[in-house]
Chain A
Amino acid sequence: TQLLEQSPQFLSIQEGENLTVYCNSSSVFSSLQWYRQEPGEGPVLLVTVVTGGEVKKLKRLTFQFGDARKDSSLHITAAQPGDTGLYLCAGDSGTYKYIFGTGTRLKVLA
């Protein structure tokens, strides 16, 4: 069974701090996605990474796909209260089904 473990599970930080969220698996993924979900809504895609070692930046968010395509990280610089939400990674093993990680709930305090 494929498993995507995210850490930390919960994170509460002050506005302006930096943070990193990790997504780890023992399985290889052909692609990996990061989503953000707000209460009462479905997840919304932030980024897709496909190539091992790939780094993508989205404003203050930096996403990295591990060289072996088994893990990924999301780094937020100078977090803002609007970054608050549930962050989910999702991996595609090549069998068309996306398996989601356990989630990281982020709260940024003003």
Chain B
Amino acid sequence: NAGVTQTPKFRILKIGQSMTLQCTQDMNHNYMYWYRQDPGMGLKLIYYSVGAGITDKGEVPNGYNVSRSTTEDFPLRLELAAPSQTSVYFCASNRRDTEAFFGQGTRLTVV
């Protein structure tokens, strides 16, 4: 049982480049989330989804986009990367009011 899988694990981007962070879960969870975590800090919610075809903004959505075409996948798109987007990105999924399972994270550096 893979749980939540994120790819890539590490990435270095140049300012202005774009990329997609992939997230897939095999637990048939309706709810999926993208968070970013800056060094030594808590997690900030970027976007979340309550089911296929439904997405909504979290606390810090600017500079990001998401889509949820299937229950399993919830990719996060960065357009025009900026140094402020250097962070560790976590994808998570759950059923409502139950444990959220997190991926291993993607460490992104924008230079």
Give the interface of A toward B (CB within 8 A): 1, 4, 6, 30-31, 33, 40-45, 48, 50, 88, 90, 92, 96-103, 105
Contacts and interface: CB of A to CB of B under 8 A. Distances in A.
B99 A48 contact: yes
Contacts of A45: 99-100
A42 B97 contact: no
B77 interface: no
B33 A98 contact: yes
Q: Interface size class for chain B?
A: 20 to 34
Interface of B: 4, 31, 33, 35, 40-45, 48, 50, 56, 58-59, 90, 92, 96-100, 102-105
Contacts of A4: 42
12 contacts: A1-B59, A40-B104, A42-B90, A42-B92, A42-B105, A43-B100, A48-B97, A96-B96, A97-B33, A98-B100, A100-B35, A103-B42
